[in-house]
Structure 1
Amino acid sequence: MTATQQPCATCSISVERAQVSVQPLRIATRGSRQAMTQSTAIASAIERVTNRPVELIVIDTIGDRTQADGVPLHSIGGQGVFVKEVQRAVLDGTADIAVHSAKDLPSEVAAGLQLAAFTERRDPRDVLVGRALDDLDPGATVATGSVRRRAQLAAQRPDLRFDELRGNIETRLSKVPERGSIVMAIAALQILELTDHVAEVLSIDQFVPAVGQGCVAVECRADDEPTAEVLRRIDHPATRRAVEIERAYLAELGSGCSLPVAGHVDGATLRVFLADPDRGVSVSERVELSSSIDATDAWGPDLELAQRLAASVTDRLAAIGSDDVR
């Protein structure tokens, strides 16, 4: 793990105030433009509510180091490859706060940390860049590093071919196959103001997003109550409710689950997806939730519902034959 410190460029902190004020809060972040933009926004939000200086500490992760070589994410551990070193910086005291894309987090909170804030969710949907789905020729190539996206596209268009895709946002946008497409999260393009590249926004009904997609998660040490209190002031309760329910579904599947999985809460509806690419089968389901969208802590029954749903779709997936796609 390597780390470099940078003052938050958008935090208006004078030298004089920094000399007499409290120590700055230190945010550990990846160094990509998307990650830096997200972390700078968190830093600005913290300063608005606390008037406390903030600095960014850039962490080099294994996910970043392997991007240039195009190593498939699932071959180096999948979930967690972009967050473990960032979390370690908080645990060892190098930083006070870790900022992540929520979809990159494993379902279990790392020992010694707490999920202290979720930012308001952006558009969670996936998009095609290049050609729209109906405009792709038979046998066209779609590039994506996500096994979930491949399984969902294959369920709709079994004729498509898939290529691996890694790299930062700009690199991926430069790798659209000839007469083909790439798949991305629209939230990433929104953050970098690159939505003019979008050919089609994919329906949530057929292309259920990844758990946590579209929002930023903020962690601090489990025993750091002062920092947790600061982060609670920038937490978005409706997003927390949605993502906590999604994560309950993912957690019930187990940390060892390597199958393509998706889960998304949209208001009062939880949509889930689970696939087995080796057998060419998938299961989709939706259920209605009982908690209100603006509930602050009363979604316990919906967490249990998400857990039961995970068991149900796992059983359904195991039971169907290889000729069925549901």
Structure 2
Amino acid sequence: MTTTIRIGTRDSELALWQAHTVQNHLESLGYKTTLVPVKSTGDIVLDKPLYELGITGIFTKTLDVAMLNGDIDIAVHSMKDVPTALPKGIVEAAILERANVQDILVHKGLDFLDATGTIATGSLRRQAQWLHRYPAHTIVDLRGNVNTRMQKLNDNDWNGAIFAAAGLERINLKPDNFIDLDWMIPAPAQGAMLIVAKKEDEFCLEALANLNHKSSEICVHIEREFLRELEGGCTAPIGALAKIENDTIRFNGALFSLDGKQKIDIRKEINVSGQEGFGKACAKEILENGGRELMKKIKAEIQ
């Protein structure tokens, strides 16, 4: 093979780890590759919460443009950062086997949990769920790549900060002082890596098909379908998790108010053979159970 696959990636340590993982998979199959790191707006503008920037797919847009311009052939993303609607001409090429889906709290001691405390996170989903469980606590915004966020936690007098376990595990940054937040519903597709390519690029699509993990694909598609139907994008506190056990898909999804006081959730099971439209049906139940009004309220509050 003589064609070299140009792999586009953000230039953070975690993003580069993900890109190198894809590179190693492809090269083990005999493909030639090269990495093309770029910096996204989401990595550059760190003094505003994500929802205030008003850009859907802020971490992926730069790579989308590079691909459509012909500067890269494929792009590797944390799938939870990817908008549910991809740009015209760009398609999902592979979803790698999913890693740890949980959120974790990195802390400086847990005495504060039953009192007052300050928790850092840049995620409305994490903020809402934390306040739902600990209404007396204060949330402060935390932006930047995982290394930057970990350093900010060390430099400030916050009690803790919330991270995706998978991100810290991938670059060996997970400290000893953490607890699993097994009660917190993760972001749709959390822990999954997505590779995208141009729709007409048969060479890359054929190469990447070898990397796709089918059960991970089924689960994240259900979660993202749930998100898309709720019209959450990156701005609403929405959690969703689908798991396959034997031939059964178990789904847990929820929509929260920004202050965490209101929670509308759903738990459902279905046979794998009935997966078509399952995420959408779960979202419709949420919307019909007060979710439509809550979504309107959330959109008004963050404008």
CA distance in 2, matches of 1:303, 1:58: 36
The structure-2 alpha-carbon separation of the partners of 1:22 and 1:318, relative to structure 1 and needing over 3 Å to count, comes to: closer
Per the alignment, residue 317 of structure 1 pairs with 290
Alpha-carbon shift at residue 222 of structure 1 (Å): 0.7
Residue 27 of structure 2: aligned partner? 47
Structure 2 CA distance for aligned equivalents of residues 132 and 290 of structure 1: 43
Compared with structure 1, are the counterparts of its residues 289 and 162 closer, same or farther at alpha carbon in structure 2 (3 Å cutoff)? same
In structure 2, which of residues 251, 254, 266 is the aligned counterpart of residue 285 of structure 1?
A: 266
4+ residue runs over 6 A deviation: none
Q: How does 1:265-280 map to 2 (within 5 A)?
A: 265-267=242-244, 268-277=249-258, 280=261
User: Aligned match of 2:44 in 65, 69, 77?
Assistant: 65
Runs of at least 5 residues in structure 2 that lack an aligned partner in the other structure:
295-303
- Give the superposition deviation at 1:247: 1.1
Alignment partner, residue 165 of structure 2: 186
Please identify which structure carries the higher helix content.
2
CA RMSD of aligned residues (A): 2.1
Aligned length: 288
Indicate yes or no: 2:90 matched with 1:113: yes
Query: Quick one: distance in 1 between partners of 2:142 and 2:176?
Result: 17
Which residue, out of 23, 27, 40, partners 2:3? Answer: 23
Q: State which of 93, 96, 101 in structure 2 corresponds to 1:124.
A: 101
Contact 1:127–1:198 (CA<8 Å) still a contact in 2?
no
Return the index of the structure with the highest Cα Rg.
1
1:320 Cα offset (Å): 9.2
Give the gaps of 5 or more residues in structure 1.
Answer: 1-20, 292-297, 322-326
Larger RCO (CA under 8 A, 6+ residues apart): 2
Please report the TM-score for the alignment, with normalisation by the length of structure 1.
0.83
Please list the CA deviations of residues 9-66 of structure 1 after superposition, one character each: whole Å capped at 9, or x if unmatched: xxxxxxxxxxxx51310011000000001001101101111x1211111112110110
Judging changes above 3 Å, is the alpha-carbon distance between structure 1 residues 318 and 52 closer, same or farther for their aligned structure 2 residues?
closer
Q: Distance in 2 between matches of 1:145 and 1:181?
A: 13
Higher mean C-alpha displacement, 253-262 vs 240-249: 253-262
Name the TM-score, length of structure 2 as normaliser.
0.89
Flag the 1:66–1:112 CA change in 2: closer, same or farther, 3 A.
same
Q: Percent identity?
A: 30
Partner of 1:289, secondary structure, is strand
Answer yes or no: is the 8 Å Cα contact 2:93–2:196 preserved in 1: yes
Code of the residue aligned with 1:26 in structure 2: it is R
Aligned-pair CA distance for 1:303: 3.6
Q: 1:318 to 1:190 in 2, by over 3 A?
A: closer
Tell whether the 8 Å contact from 2:264 to 2:291 is kept in structure 1 after alignment: no
